[in-house]
Chain A
Amino acid sequence: QKEVEQNSGPLSVPEGAIASLNCTYSDRGSQSFFWYRQYSGKSPELIMFIYSNGDKEDGRFTAQLNKASQYVSLLIRDSQPSDSATYLCAVNSLSNQFYFGTGTSLTVIP
């Protein structure tokens, strides 16, 4: 069973702070890694993806990947109240199936 694990939260950070979201995965053959944001009652929205070890930055978001530790993280700098949502980690396995974690609920407090 290929698993993607996330802390369910809730994670609360003050406005302007850095939010750090973590994810681990069990399948060493996983190829690419994704972070989605899902507002309540809405569909997932892709924030960014990463497939090489290291950091990838896009605006206020930085994804970090460590394949040896089977660990992916997402940092959100200068958090805004509009960032309050559930953040989903997803991985694409060697068989090209996609596995999602249960998500981490983030609340940014004004």
Chain B
Amino acid sequence: EPEVTQTPSHQVTQMGQEVILRCVPISNHLYFYWYRQILGQKVEFLVSFYNNEISEKSEIFDDQFSVERPDGSNFTLKIRSTKLEDSAMYFCASSETAYTQYFGPGTRLTVL
């Protein structure tokens, strides 16, 4: 069964460093999303991406964040100048329509 994959599973970085989180969506899906979940808190929408551009973004998704689809398969989230409060689980999701989102296993980001 096709699935969304994410790498790395765990990323440790120093405050102020840049990180890139990678996702491979399901191949025939057209909609891509990034979410984050701080430990013990709710899942928070960051951004949605369709037709090679951002379709929606939340207030959390400020200039520190960017997304890219560098090739036909990868979908990346870049966080510039990481802060302690960026420590969270980051989930990528993809969907064929706007309804059935499939989540990847997540990348745990730890900022020291």
Contact = CB atoms under 8 A, between A and B. Distances in A.
B101 interface: yes
Contacts of A42: 105
Contacts of A16: none
Contacts of A90: 43
A98 B45 contact: yes
A95 B57 CA distance: 10
A98 B33 contact: yes
Contacts of A49: 99-100
A96 B99 contact: no
B41 A96 contact: no
B56 A95 contact: yes
- B-side interface size class: 20 to 34
Contacts of A88: 42-43
Interface string A45-75: 1100101000000000000000000000000
B102 interface: yes
Contacts of B103: 43-46
Given A43-B104, A43-B105, A44-B91, A100 B44 contact: yes
Contacts of B35: 98
B99 A32 contact: yes
B109 to A, nearest CB: 15
A97 B56 contact: yes
Given A44-B91, A44-B103, A97-B56, A92 B42 contact: no
Contacts of B100: 46, 49
Interface string A23-42: 00000000010100000001
Given A44-B43, A97-B48, A98-B48, 6 more contacts: A43-B104, A43-B105, A88-B42, A96-B48, A98-B45, A100-B44
11 contacts: A32-B98, A43-B104, A43-B106, A46-B102, A46-B103, A88-B42, A96-B55, A96-B56, A97-B45, A97-B58, A98-B48
